[in-house]
């Protein structure tokens, strides 16, 4: 009973057995204000995840608040913790403080992360950008979850007719909280300053042809396999359009020495077929 009072929530006897091994972590719940504002709003399973997977009160508070704000399931909470969402949020290189109003700049910066984790695509880091783009659309639910709350998918390879010439945007989104379009361009290699020229052109075209008068200026996000942060900062510094640069991560290819040690698909199938035949023979003999 004292344990329950200490936590500030009611638990059954069975839950006590689950809680007791975690007593050393319960300082997280000592602040009555936190208990009232956050803890009581989460299911018990979420609280156990926060206790088991996070080291201290600050990170637990952050993830708990996000889980409440976005109505995460327990599995989504686990996924966000394991992919280190806190460490990635707001880490994209941007020029938002210089190109957006203060009221929009902070929200826009927090809406981007670095790096983006696309390992759910099942592609290795050798995949070309068009293959990544197609896989992201095919797995749009997981993609939207990785992008974060507020993003709505508009289209892939969106056509822009500028003076009779045709141009195609890789991915176009609308952000419901920022009230603006977001153009995402994928680059299969290392970031180069000239990439921003193409992205900036797309932003201008979307603002002129797609954006409604009540929408905020379009934001651009360039996703590349790698970047030099200093180069990206220099490239963004004198740009007057709201742009961000971040990396995306796929499944890393196996080193050649490890790959050669693993059985091929054909070898696995042959082994399974051989085992099945051996089992059948044994059954016949018996």
CATH of the domain at 164: 3.40.1350.10
Domain of residue 185: give its range: 93-249
190 and 97 in one domain? yes
What is the per-residue burial (b if ≥16 Cβ within 10 Å, else e) of 108-130? bbebbbbbbbbebbebeeebebe
Q: C-alpha angle with apex 158: 155 to 160, nearest 5 degrees? A: 150
Does residue 279 lie in a domain region?
A: no
User: How far is residue 98 from each of residues 102, 182, 248, measured CA to CA in Å?
Assistant: 9, 18, 25
DSSP state of 29: G
113 and 19 in one domain? no
155 and 103 in one domain? yes
236 and 102 in one domain? yes
101 and 40 in one domain? no
Does residue 278 lie in a domain region?
A: no
d(CA 132, CA 217): 27
What pLDDT score does 34 carry? 58
Q: For residues 126, 81, 114 and 168, what is the CA-based torsion angle, rounded to 10 degrees? A: 60
What pLDDT score does 270 carry? 60
144 and 7 in one domain? no
Task: Cis check for the bond before 115: say yes or no (omega within 30 of 0).
Answer: yes
Q: pLDDT tens per residue, the chain (286 residues)?
A: 333 433 444 445 444 444 445 545 555 555 556 555 666 788 888 888 888 888 878 888 888 988 998 888 999 899 889 888 888 988 999 999 999 998 899 999 989 999 998 888 888 777 888 888 888 888 888 899 899 889 999 999 999 999 999 999 999 999 999 999 999 999 988 999 999 999 999 999 999 999 999 999 999 999 999 999 999 999 999 899 999 999 998 875 444 544 444 444 455 456 555 555 554 555 555 5
What pLDDT score does 141 carry? 87
What pLDDT score does 69 carry? 86
Could you say which of 82, 111, 142 is where a domain stops? 82
Q: What is the pTM of this model?
A: 0.73
97 and 14 in one domain? no
Write down the residue that tokens 């206790």 correspond to. Answer: 51
Contact 113, 90 (CB under 8 A): yes
52 and 102 in one domain? no
228 and 185 in one domain? yes
Other residues' Cβ atoms within 10 Å of the Cβ of residue 260: 8
134 and 223 in one domain? yes
135 and 75 in one domain? no
Within the chain, how many helices (H) and strands (E) appear? Answer: 15, 7
Does residue 12 lie in a domain region?
A: yes
State how many domains the chain has.
2
Q: For residues 97, 98, 103 and 106, what is the CA-based torsion angle, rounded to 10 degrees? A: -20
Enumerate the H helices of 112-253 as residue ranges.
129-138, 140-147, 195-209, 229-237
What pLDDT score does 213 carry? 93
Does residue 266 lie in a domain region?
A: no
Does residue 193 lie in a domain region?
A: yes
d(CA 72, CA 149): 11
């Amino acid at each position: 009973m004292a344990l329950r009072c200490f936590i500030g929530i009611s638990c059954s006897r069975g839950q006590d057995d689950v809680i007791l091994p975690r007593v050393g972590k319960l300082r997280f719940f000592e602040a009555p204000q936190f208990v009232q504002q956050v803890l009581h709003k989460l299911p018990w399973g979420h609280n156990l995840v926060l206790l088991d997977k996070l080291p201290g009160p600050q990170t637990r508070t952050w993830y708990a608040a996000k889980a409440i704000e976005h109505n995460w399931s327990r599995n989504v909470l686990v996924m966000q913790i394991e992919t280190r969402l806190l460490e990635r949020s707001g880490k994209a290189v941007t020029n938002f403080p210089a190109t957006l109003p203060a009221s929009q700049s902070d929200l826009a910066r927090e809406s981007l992360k670095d790096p983006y984790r696309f390992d759910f695509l099942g592609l290795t880091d050798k995949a070309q950008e068009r293959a990544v783009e197609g896989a992201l659309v095919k797995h749009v639910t997981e993609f939207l979850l990785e992008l974060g709350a507020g993003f709505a998918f508009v289209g892939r390879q969106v056509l822009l007719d500028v003076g009779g010439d045709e141009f195609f945007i890789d991915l176009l989104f609308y952000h419901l909280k920022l009230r603006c379009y977001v153009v995402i361009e994928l680059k299969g290699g290392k970031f180069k300053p000239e990439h921003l020229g193409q992205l900036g052109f797309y932003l201008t075209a979307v603002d002129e042809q797609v954006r409604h008068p009540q929408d905020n200026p379009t934001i651009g996000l360039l996703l590349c396999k790698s970047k030099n942060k200093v180069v990206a900062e220099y490239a963004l510094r004198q740009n007057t359009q709201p742009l961000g640069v971040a990396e995306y991560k796929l499944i890393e290819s196996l080193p050649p020495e490890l790959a050669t040690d693993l059985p091929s698909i054909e070898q696995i199938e042959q082994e399974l077929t051989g085992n099945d035949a051996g089992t059948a023979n044994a059954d016949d003999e018996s």
